[in-house]
Amino acid sequence: MAVISSEIVKTLRDKTGAGMMDCKRALEQTNGDLEQATDYLRKKGAAVAAKRAEKEANQGVIEAYIHAGSRVGAMVELNCETDFVAKTPEFKQLAHDIAMQIAAMSPLFVSKENVDEATLQKELEIYKAQAVNEGKRPEIAEKIAEGRLEKFYQEVCLLEQSFIKDSGKTIRDLLSDATGKVGEKIGVRRFHRYHLGESPR
């Protein structure tokens, strides 16, 4: 069996919009052949996510999660395309899981695209300064800063965070998997996290 690298898994994911685990499974089933794996995903319906990317998703639910002790809570708006999907137990469970993720992991943004330029520049400057202080040359410090920025995204962007119930998946993977299963675009529009005694951010 061919060795399935993370690079080819990412390539297949970018091509099809399917979840990471679906892509890995498809490549394993097709001995690492990218074209065959793409066909495999299409037959399984997991590549639906890419086709739905431009669709309007303005139905859905607002879900709240309050942690035991009532000191931490979160609300999230999870969208889909139809009221029918929004009312399914699976969709409601997904919204609940994401609200719980927000309460537990304190993301600041929905996705990378939502991070404002001022925050990005500030983080990059900090990471560059850290690398220079570690004795790295300026051009190397630049690359190190960009690498650390990816880590920053994984910490503060909801879609890039590892799912607390399955660390092998990100929240982005979770949404892609759900999109593939129901045949509708599913996405997080906004969220808010509350911690007793904290000032609004």
Model pLDDT for residues 4-38, shown as the tens digit of each residue = 888 888 888 777 767 778 888 889 989 989 889 88
Query: What angle is formed at CA 142 by the lines to CA 138 and CA 144, rounded to 5 degrees?
Result: 110
User: From CA 165, how far away is CA 100, in angstroms rounded?
Assistant: 10
Residues of the chain with CATH 3.30.479.20: 59-111+157-195
Q: Token pair of 145, please?
A: 């800063």
Query: Residue 48 pLDDT > 60, yes or no?
Result: no
User: From CA 190, how far away is CA 140, in angstroms rounded?
Assistant: 36
Residues of the chain with CATH 1.10.8.10: 6-51
The matching CATH number, chosen from 1.10.490.10, 3.20.20.100, 3.30.479.20, 3.50.50.60, for 59-111+157-195 is 3.30.479.20
Q: How many residues does the chain have?
A: 201
Mean pLDDT computed over 61-85 = 94
The pLDDT, as a whole number, for residue 100 is: 97
Residues of the chain with CATH 1.10.286.20: 116-155
- What is the topology classification, in CATH, of domain 6-51? Helicase, Ruva Protein; domain 3 (1.10.8)
Single pTM value for the model: 0.68
Chain position carrying tokens 């045949």: 183
The pLDDT, as a whole number, for residue 78 is: 97
CATH number of the domain located at residue range(s) 116-155 in this protein: 1.10.286.20
Q: Token pair of 107, please?
A: 């993301």
Model pLDDT for residues 113-145, shown as the tens digit of each residue = 899 989 988 998 898 888 888 888 878 888 888
User: From CA 143, how far away is CA 152, in angstroms rounded?
Assistant: 14
